[in-house]
Amino acid sequence: GAVVSQHPSRVICKSGTSVKIECRSLDFQATTMFWYRQFPKQSLMLMATSNEGSKATYEQGVEKDKFLINHASLTLSTLTVTSAHPEDSSFYICSASTSWNEQFFGPGTRLTVL
Amino acid sequence: QQQVKQSPQSLIVQKGGISIINCAYENTAFDYFPWYQQFPGKGPALLIAIRPDVSEKKEGRFTISFNKSAKQFSLHIMDSQPGDSATYFCAAAPFGNEKLTFGTGTRLTIIP
């Protein structure tokens, strides 16, 4: 299957700082990437859909000014959690969609905000 | 109508047995049904997927059964192994739309 990487895998930050998470499709070009959030023992919650060269589409209830998404190229999307607070601590996972509409997921980023 | 209902929430199966996880949906626009396997602390990995033009798809020990009239699909894991212990998610997406709707997940434990 197609490979998607995420960086960093873990990040610990102080409250009020911003954190950037990168998502890369390593062996294919992805017009569309997705960002999810997952709480312990729960399903994946879609936060936003990221399209290369255009603004992201956010799901209802997700603050676009807090979770900034940039999809600068066909292989890279970034999620920036601005002014992070302890309630933003979670497992953030990206996925990238292939030309045949299959989604492949990254390994996830564990964010802990102190 | 966007929901995908998954059951059971947790499942314990003996090694060598068959694990069966079920999902049901309401949205008739769904036409792509993947299953994902997730280990703790890792991202989900695509296991197998099916489209409504077939009623069954098999890849190794994993089989999807699809019942279009009942709007149900299931994952069967034959000869279950301890390494299969993970959380499994079903999902669905409409034609031409990549946005997946996920089930709530099933935590599968294979015991010796």
First to last CA, chain A: 36
State how far residue B77 is from chain A, nearest Cα, in angstroms.
Answer: 20
| Averaged pLDDT for residues A28-41 | 92
Taking CA atoms, what residue in B is nearest to A32?
B98
- Give the chain A residue whose CA is nearest to the CA of B4: A43
Q: Which residues of A lie closer than 8 Å to B, measured between beta carbons? A: 1, 4, 6, 32, 34, 41-44, 46, 49, 91, 93, 95, 97, 101-108, 110
Give the pLDDT of residue B2: 66
Which residues, in sequence order, are CB contacts of B36 under 8 Å at separation 6+?
A105, B44, B45, B46, B47, B88, B89, B90, B91
Minimum mean pLDDT among A17-26, A50-59, B10-19, B40-49: which range? A50-59
> What is the per-residue pLDDT for B104?
95
A73 alpha carbon, distance to own chain's centre:
15
Neighbours of B15 (CB within 10 A): 12
Burial of A92 (0-12, 13-18, 19+ CB in 10 A): buried
Pairing outcome for strands A67-73 and A76-81: antiparallel
- Check whether B1 has a pLDDT greater than 60: no
- Nearest CB to B43: which of A41, A102, A107? A107
More confident residue, A54 or A17: A17
Residue carrying structure tokens 């997921």: A105
Which of A3, A99, A2, A80 has the alpha carbon at shortest distance from A35?
A80
- pLDDT 10s digits, A42-100: 999 999 999 888 889 999 999 999 999 998 899 999 999 999 999 999 999 999 988 77
Q: Are B57 and B63 in contact (CB under 8 A)?
A: yes
Separation between Cα atoms, residue A73 and residue A52, nearest integer Å? 6
Q: Are B4 and B102 a contacting pair, CB within 8 Å?
A: yes
Distance from CA of A18 to the nearest CA of B (A): 22
* pLDDT band, very low/low/confident/very high, at A1 (cuts 50, 70, 90): low
pLDDT per residue over B51-91, tens digit each?
988 999 999 999 999 999 999 999 999 999 999 999 999 99
